Structure 1
Amino acid sequence: MSATFEPRFLRVEAGPLGRRFALHHRPAGPVRGLVVHVHAFAEEMNKSRRMVAMQARALASAGCAVLQLDLLGCGDSDGDFGDAAWARWVEDVQAAARWLQDQHPTSGALPLWLWGMRAGSLLAAEAAAALAAAGQPCHLLLWQPTPQGRLLLQQFLRLKAASELLAGQARAAMEQLRTELAAGQRIEIAGYELSPELCAGMERATLPPPPGPAGRLVWLETSPVETPTLAPAGAATMASWRQAGWTVDAAAVRGPAFWQTTEIEDAPALIEATLAALAAPQPTGTAQAEPAAA
């Protein structure tokens, strides 16, 4: 028997915006770990769908129960993108982790991983801190993480200003967008409506290590060059996690920037690196005593 998956809606809160769509991947045999995927932001989420699905199936075949969640206002979940707020997205991730643990009640001693993609890495880190405060420490698997949310937000805002570039009005357009957000107005960029709450949370988001028991941080990047190397931007962040006692496994593998390429592309080396990293023995004295999921 092979691993299976089932689509479903999770009720995370009361009211008309309370349902989140999810895909629950079940291993064919014993569950060796739990993984909650936290998707990328806006169009990067759509570009990443294929790679995420391939990785989720590979993890399930290796014994992990995986939950792919559409956050509030994204994909097939309730609400529109304009309804989203950063804090509510963090709550969605926590609710997904609790739901997955409830579905596999014998897995209390097994590792829980939050798997973030790009901006989803920032959400995963905040959710991990909240879970740790509630006595549920977890590990983090981050794909192409951005240490500062304000950089991602700034890049997204520039899409709106791009049309003004030739006219020399790009700076004015950026200032206008920020003025509208400060006044509590929603803004529309590339077909996505952004709320002030979402932008403010993203602007503040960073990647500090969560308080409480230290666990494992797996940090993976892709690069199209023959000999991939990690981007320098993440060095200081990873150093802070190591200083906090976390075991940090970081690597760059050859592959395209599939979250932003014009055509949908695959990065098979990233899938293999992820499986290998989660199969590595769990160091003693960290957030989970059992071996990490394979």
Structure 2
Amino acid sequence: MTAAQERLVSFESAGELLHGVIHEPLEETQQALVFCHPFAEEKKCAHRSMVEAARACAAAGWAVLRFDNRGCGDSPGCFEQYDLNDWRLDIESALECAARETSSAVGLLGLRLGATLAAEVAEDRPDVACLVLWEPIVDGERYIKQNLRRSIIKAMMTSHEGGGSGTTAAHTAGASGEGTVDFDGYSVGEAMREQLAEVNLLEPPPVYPRPVLVVALGAGEAMGEQLQRLADAYTMGTARAVRQEPIWQRIGVMDATPVISATVEWLRQQ
């Protein structure tokens, strides 16, 4: 392990200024990684774990750029103003920033929808040094249904506690594809839902030619069919199942050591 330092950085994407943090080793940098955060409430839940992962990678010799997409975190704009195409462009801009700031080859590490967007960006960027995909969203339509179902259940519970039936009705309408729906406090309109529904990392099959680590996080040691198929679809794909509490599901202190250790071990082998 080596010492590391952190510094703030800003860079432009489509004329807007994004903000991030660079974690870098004090000694020679092996390569660099851009971290791609998950969607909506999952980003908030996973923040601490992503910071810990960045520090661990920097201590292992990898520079890391963590940043917020437009409309998220410390970057400008409102969440509802942007879509998946905007955030793909933000990742591309972050790649350029990391390359400038570290003078290194740059890979991508993402969690959940951040992993999905990273994988999509890499399809058109063979210069991306490697991909680390933590529990990526493989099927966007399935992801929407899961989120809507969870939101409806929460709305029903709130209604029983005196929150009224209007919220439940709005979520039910959203489940049928109508109007704007609430994803844990984040408004998601029809256009965004249509983009999410089009996400499918298996169709067409990926052509990214460099090393890829696909990580499944859960209580067991099984990859799950979709994630195993995704890893197998890459020319240089590796599948890894990690016993790890889902770091994107709950705000609070979680021990992300298992997935961080597995990732650092894989990076050292590249």
Q: Are residues 1:78 and 2:69 paired?
A: no
SS in 2 for 1:40: coil
Equivalent in 42, 45, 54 of residue 43 of structure 2: 45
Instruction: Sort the Cα spacing of 1:262 and 1:37 in 2 relative to 1 into closer, same or farther, 3 A.
Output: closer
Normalising by structure 1, we get a TM-score of 0.80
Q: What residue number does 1:141 align with?
A: 132
- Is residue 44–residue 251 contact of structure 2 (8 Å, CA) maintained in 1? no
Q: What residue number does 1:269 align with?
A: 258
SS in 2 for 1:229: coil
| 1:27-106 equivalence runs, <5 A | 27-105=25-103
Q: What residue number does 1:131 align with?
A: 125
Residue-by-residue CA offset, 1:94-137 (whole Å, 9 max, x unaligned): 110011111233x2xx4x211010111110011112323xxx24
AA in 1 matched with 2:79: F
Equivalent in 138, 153, 165 of residue 144 of structure 2: 153
Question: Unpaired segments of 5 or more residues in structure 1?
Answer: 281-291
SS in 2 for 1:47: helix
Deviation at 1:86, TM superposition (A): 0.6
Deviation at 1:74, TM superposition (A): 0.8
CA distance in 2, matches of 1:218, 1:247: 9
Q: Are residues 1:203 and 2:197 paired?
A: yes
- Is residue 222–residue 270 contact of structure 1 (8 Å, CA) maintained in 2? yes
Question: Unpaired segments of 5 or more residues in structure 2?
Answer: 161-165
Q: After the TM superposition, which parts of structure 1 deviate over 6 Å for at least 4 consecutive aligned residues?
A: 169-172
AA in 2 matched with 1:206: N
| 1:229-268 equivalence runs, <5 A | 229-241=222-234, 246-261=235-250, 263-268=252-257
Q: What residue number does 1:223 align with?
A: 218
AA in 1 matched with 2:198: R
Instruction: Sort the Cα spacing of 1:47 and 1:194 in 2 relative to 1 into closer, same or farther, 3 A.
Output: same
- Is residue 23–residue 69 contact of structure 1 (8 Å, CA) maintained in 2? yes
CA distance in 1, matches of 2:184, 2:217: 26
SS in 2 for 1:256: coil
SS in 2 for 1:266: coil
Aligned residues: 261
Deviation at 1:203, TM superposition (A): 1.3
CA distance in 2, matches of 1:121, 1:150: 16
Deviation at 1:191, TM superposition (A): 1.6
SS in 2 for 1:198: helix
Residue-by-residue CA offset, 1:43-86 (whole Å, 9 max, x unaligned): 11111111111110011111111011111111111111111201
Percent of residue pairs identical: 26
Deviation at 1:160, TM superposition (A): 3.6
Q: What residue number does 2:174 align with?
A: 177
Deviation at 1:276, TM superposition (A): 0.5
Deviation at 1:240, TM superposition (A): 2.1
CA RMSD of aligned residues (A): 2.6
SS in 2 for 1:55: helix
SS in 2 for 1:131: coil
Instruction: Sort the Cα spacing of 1:82 and 1:36 in 2 relative to 1 into closer, same or farther, 3 A.
Output: same
CA distance in 2, matches of 1:191, 1:260: 14
**Range with greater deviation from structure 2 (40-49 or 143-152):** 143-152
Deviation at 1:170, TM superposition (A): 11
Deviation at 1:174, TM superposition (A): 5.8
Deviation at 1:180, TM superposition (A): 6.3
Q: What residue number does 2:4 align with?
A: 3
Instruction: Sort the Cα spacing of 1:269 and 1:263 in 2 relative to 1 into closer, same or farther, 3 A.
Output: same
Q: What residue number does 1:288 align with?
A: none
Deviation at 1:189, TM superposition (A): 3.5
Instruction: Sort the Cα spacing of 1:180 and 1:231 in 2 relative to 1 into closer, same or farther, 3 A.
Output: closer
